[in-house]
């Protein structure tokens, strides 16, 4: 079923692998990632177990509030730590400055699931062909950035992505420091790693962008905001992000 967030006006500015739409009430900007490496057949079974103490364990699709919070956080990370931090992109995206930025939806065939067990609740973004799951917006940020730059492969056919699962094995804390992401408690678990364990890409963001895209024929942004932001975006408490 397609989300109501698909009912979008035409984007204000289009890039080969993503696009941006500007909104009013509140002033905001929605990001759509057009590239994907996900397949729906990667989604897990959502059967649940009911225990004698009344508790329930297992996976189920995440509720709307949780998904909104992740997309809001991802929009913030992608805007501040990628789009406006890159001189080539930021020149085309000045209207994003000062707006609340969000991901309109996850890339195609990505889906969020919530796992409950013994009173613990964890959220996972699942669908990637090479990564079992992403456990936080910070984890998915670098992978989403790779998708937005064209989802290129290395000479061996592996994703040329620098996230903790695709690139050289390193902690999320090191990635947070490199990309100046908000800190979070790092997970030491490596059980979800299904990517390659090799040297990380030596290409810079600038080099990858210039190789992947030609900005000369970009659709110019419409500086007039067009309509209220999608339902749910304006209601998210920034303190939750």
Q: Which two tokens stand for residue 124?
A: 């996972």
C-alpha 101 chain-centroid distance: 12
The closest alpha carbon to 147, from 91, 108, 95, belongs to 108
Question: Which residue, chain included where needed, has tokens 């994907």?
Answer: 36
pLDDT at residue 85, as a whole number? 93
pLDDT at residue 204, as a whole number? 30
In angstroms, the Cα distances linking 91 to 38, 83, 85 are 30, 9, 10
Q: What are the two backbone dihedrals, phi and then psi, of residue 240, each rounded to the nearest 5 degrees? A: -80, -15
pLDDT at residue 74, as a whole number? 98
99 Cβ contact list (under 8 Å, min separation 6): 22, 27, 28, 29
Rounded CA separation 112/216 (Å): 36
Q: Name the pTM for this structure.
A: 0.73
Q: Is 170 left (phi over 0), alpha (psi -120 to 50) or beta?
A: beta
pLDDT at residue 125, as a whole number? 97
Q: Assign 237 to helix, strand or coil.
A: coil
| Residue 145 near residue 82 (C-beta atoms within 8 A) | yes
**DSSP conformation letters of 65-120:** HHHHHHHHHHHHHHIIIIITTSHHHHTT-GGGTTSEEEESSPSTT-EEEEEEETTE
Residues above pLDDT 90, as percent of the chain:
51
pLDDT at residue 86, as a whole number? 92
Q: Which two tokens stand for residue 62?
A: 């995440």
Query: What digits encode the pLDDT tens for the residues 18-69?
Result: 999 999 888 999 999 999 999 999 998 887 777 666 666 788 999 999 999 9
Query: What digits encode the pLDDT tens for the residues 146-155?
Result: 999 999 999 9
pLDDT at residue 92, as a whole number? 93
Q: Which two tokens stand for residue 27?
A: 């002033």
pLDDT surpassing 80 at residue 228:
no
Q: What is the DSSP letter of 26?
A: T
Query: What digits encode the pLDDT tens for the residues 85-129?
Result: 999 999 999 999 999 999 999 999 999 999 988 888 999 999 999
The closest alpha carbon to 83, from 217, 207, 225, 205, belongs to 205
């Amino acid at each position: 079923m397609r989300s109501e967030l698909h009912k979008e006006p035409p984007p204000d500015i289009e890039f080969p692998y993503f696009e941006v739409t500007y909104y009013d009430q509140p002033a905001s900007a929605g990001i759509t990632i057009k590239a994907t490496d996900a397949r729906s057949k990667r989604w897990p079974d959502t059967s649940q177990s009911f225990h004698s103490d009344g508790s329930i364990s297992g996976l189920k699709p995440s509720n709307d509030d949780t998904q909104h919070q992740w997309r809001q956080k991802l929009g913030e990370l992608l805007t501040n730590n990628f789009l406006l931090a890159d001189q080539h992109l930021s020149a085309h995206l000045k209207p994003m400055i000062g707006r609340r930025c969000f991901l309109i939806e996850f890339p195609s065939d990505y889906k969020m699931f919530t796992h409950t067990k013994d009173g613990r609740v964890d959220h996972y973004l699942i669908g990637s062909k090479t990564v079992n799951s992403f456990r936080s917006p910070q984890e998915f940020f670098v992978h989403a950035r790779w998708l937005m730059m064209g989802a290129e492969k290395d000479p061996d056919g592996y994703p040329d992505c620098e996230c903790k699962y695709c690139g050289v094995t390193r902690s999320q804390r090191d990635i947070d420091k490199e990309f100046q992401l908000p800190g979070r408690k790092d997970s030491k678990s490596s059980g979800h790693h299904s990517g390659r364990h090799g040297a990380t890409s030596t290409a810079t963001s600038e080099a990858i962008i210039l190789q992947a895209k030609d900005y000369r024929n970009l659709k110019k942004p419409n500086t007039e905001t067009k309509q209220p932001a999608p339902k749910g975006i304006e209601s998210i408490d920034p303190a939750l992000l």
